[in-house]
Amino acid sequence: MSKRVIEMSNIIKRYYIGQPNELQILNGMNITVHEGEFVAIVGASGSGKSTLMNIIGALDRPTEGTYHLNGTDVSRLNDKQLSQIRNKEIGFVFQTFNLISKSNALKNVELPMLYAGKSRKERRQRALELLKLVEMSDRASHKPNELSGGQKQRVAIARAMANDPSIILADEPTGALDSKTGHLVMDIFHKLHKEEGKTIVLITHSPELAAETDRIITISDGNIVSDTGYKDPDSTETEVNA
Ligand X SMILES: Nc1ncnc2c1ncn2[C@@H]1O[C@H](COP(=O)(O)OP(=O)(O)OP(=O)(O)O)[C@@H](O)[C@H]1O
Q: Taking CB under 5 A as the rule, does residue 50 contact Mg ion?
A: yes
By CB under 6 A, the count of residues binding ligand X is 11
| Residue whose CB is less far from ligand X, 46 or 207 | 46
Q: Taking CB under 6 A as the rule, does residue 25 contact ligand X?
A: yes
* Residue from 2, 10, 22, 23 binding ligand X (CB under 6 A): 23
Q: Taking CB under 6 A as the rule, does residue 57 contact ligand X?
A: no
Distance between CA atoms of residues 43 and 155, nearest Å = 27
Nearest Cα neighbor of 215 from 199, 191, 196 is: 199
Distance between CA atoms of residues 185 and 28, nearest Å = 32
By CB under 5 A, the count of residues binding Mg ion is 2
Tally the residues of the chain: 242
Longest dimension (CA), the chain: 55
Q: Taking CB under 6 A as the rule, does residue 51 contact ligand X?
A: yes
* Residue from 29, 31, 37, 43 binding ligand X (CB under 6 A): 43
The sheet with strand 4-15 has its strands ordered as 23-34, 4-15, 64-69, 72-73
Residue 100 binding target from ligand X, Mg ion, none, CB below 5 to 8 Å by type: none
Nearest Cα neighbor of 41 from 193, 164, 209, 240 is: 209
Residue 204 binding target from ligand X, Mg ion, none, CB below 5 to 8 Å by type: none
* Residue from 10, 46, 132, 148 binding ligand X (CB under 6 A): 46
| Residue whose CB is less far from ligand X, 55 or 161 | 55
| Residue whose CB is less far from ligand X, 18 or 197 | 18
To ligand X, the closest distance from the beta carbon of 65 in angstroms equals 16
| Residue whose CB is less far from Mg ion, 172 or 227 | 172
To ligand X, the closest distance from the beta carbon of 88 in angstroms equals 25
Q: Taking CB under 6 A as the rule, does residue 213 contact ligand X?
A: no
To ligand X, the closest distance from the beta carbon of 219 in angstroms equals 7
Query: Is the CB of residue 103 less than 8 Å from the CB of residue 161?
Result: no
Contact residues: ligand X, CB under 6 A? 15, 23, 25, 43, 45-51
- Residues interacting with Mg ion, by CB under 5 A? 49-50
